[in-house]
Homo-oligomer: A and B are copies of this chain.
């Protein structure tokens, strides 16, 4: 590979000149479109190699009107949940020849709309993960983002891939109630979080299903530290449902430090089933969410919009109870 005299990278024109053909032919050879005389094709390829020619992505994008790139907007790249969604999208998209642009709002709610818009400008479509954004802001934003698919949010007319956290929360209560627990604490996520609201809705449903069970909601958060802090606020609950596995981890650690037996004195169930859940002590019982699949399905929906022009049907995942060692029969 040689660099051109000027020091600039070779362009299609340079190749055309050197191979004594037209730019059109070079383009055809490079893209394998149409059919070109084998002899000429060989000559062109030789020159391409010699000059180290690489098509400019920018020029291509402009000419084609597409970037073959999708954006993924997440609130926090440090969260295993969003990491896996990103990973799922990335893998699925790469199989289709698309690349992924990440945009991490770093929990800065105010920046999200602009961040998403900016991402959309550079991409053909966007996967939006914005659990805290207000419904109002969301519906304002969506029109300018299309094609777009929502993860764990709903908005009329926009394809979505969501987890049925309500069903998950309800199932968690079923599990605990079945073990004899009558006082359950829910360590709530951020109040503004949509997925927290969905869990709360599920708990509401569970209350009517289990009249004898008292379910109290304790403000907590979404991180390990939040979970650790919440250990003191458990009251007389014999079981707790954590907003997610991160919170459960923090709780478990604090409980251990405080000498509280799990599940002897308190049972704990998490949400998500992150990779480390099974390595917690005791191994964490949790409502498993297929996080990578979430990303993969989001990609599918995106592709349907991009190429098919079809707004994909909503996808709903139901969390699956994974019983490990952190839950057990209530002590009496």
Interface residues of A (CB under 8 A from B): 1, 52, 54-59, 61-62, 65, 67, 69, 77-78, 83-84, 86-87, 90-91, 94, 99-104, 106, 117-119, 121-122, 143-144, 224, 249-250, 252-253, 256, 275-276, 278-281
Q: Which of B57, B144, B280 makes the CB contact (< 8 A) with A279? A: B280
Are B78 and A67 in contact, with the CB atoms below 8 A?
Answer: no
Residues of B within 8 A of A55 (CB): 121
Are B69 and A77 in contact, with the CB atoms below 8 A?
Answer: no
Are A119 and B99 in contact, with the CB atoms below 8 A?
Answer: yes
In the bound complex, what is the Cα–Cα distance between A69 and B57 (angstroms)? Answer: 12
Are B119 and A102 in contact, with the CB atoms below 8 A?
Answer: no
Are A86 and B90 in contact, with the CB atoms below 8 A?
Answer: no
Supply 14 further A-B pairs (C-beta < 8 A) apart from A99-B102, A253-B279, A281-B281: A1-B143, A1-B144, A54-B144, A55-B121, A56-B62, A58-B65, A59-B62, A78-B84, A94-B104, A102-B102, A224-B279, A250-B279, A276-B276, A279-B280
A223 (CB) vs chain B CBs: closest residue: B275
In the bound complex, what is the Cα–Cα distance between A39 and B1 (angstroms)? Answer: 53
In the bound complex, what is the Cα–Cα distance between A52 and B121 (angstroms)? Answer: 12
Are B281 and A57 in contact, with the CB atoms below 8 A?
Answer: no
Residues of B within 8 A of A84 (CB): 78
Q: Which of B87, B102, B121, B144 makes the CB contact (< 8 A) with A90? A: B102
Are B58 and A62 in contact, with the CB atoms below 8 A?
Answer: yes
A275 (CB) vs chain B CBs: closest residue: B224
In the bound complex, what is the Cα–Cα distance between A249 and B276 (angstroms)? Answer: 9
Residues of B within 8 A of A253 (CB): 278-279
Residues of B within 8 A of A224 (CB): 275, 279
Q: Which of B94, B122, B279 makes the CB contact (< 8 A) with A69? A: B122
In the bound complex, what is the Cα–Cα distance between A175 and B177 (angstroms)? Answer: 48
Are B100 and A102 in contact, with the CB atoms below 8 A?
Answer: yes
Are B77 and A86 in contact, with the CB atoms below 8 A?
Answer: yes
Q: How far is the CB of A185 from chain B (nearest CB, A)?
A: 20
Residues of B within 8 A of A58 (CB): 58, 61-62, 65, 67
Residues of B within 8 A of A56 (CB): 62, 121
In the bound complex, what is the Cα–Cα distance between A77 and B80 (angstroms)? Answer: 11
Are B101 and A101 in contact, with the CB atoms below 8 A?
Answer: yes
In the bound complex, what is the Cα–Cα distance between A99 and B105 (angstroms)? Answer: 12
Q: How far is the CB of A217 from chain B (nearest CB, A)?
A: 25
Q: Which of B54, B87, B275, B280 makes the CB contact (< 8 A) with A104? A: B87
Q: How far is the CB of A147 from chain B (nearest CB, A)?
A: 13
Residues of B within 8 A of A77 (CB): 83, 86-87, 90-91
9 contacts between A and B (CB under 8 A): A58-B61, A61-B62, A77-B87, A78-B84, A78-B87, A99-B101, A99-B103, A99-B119, A256-B281
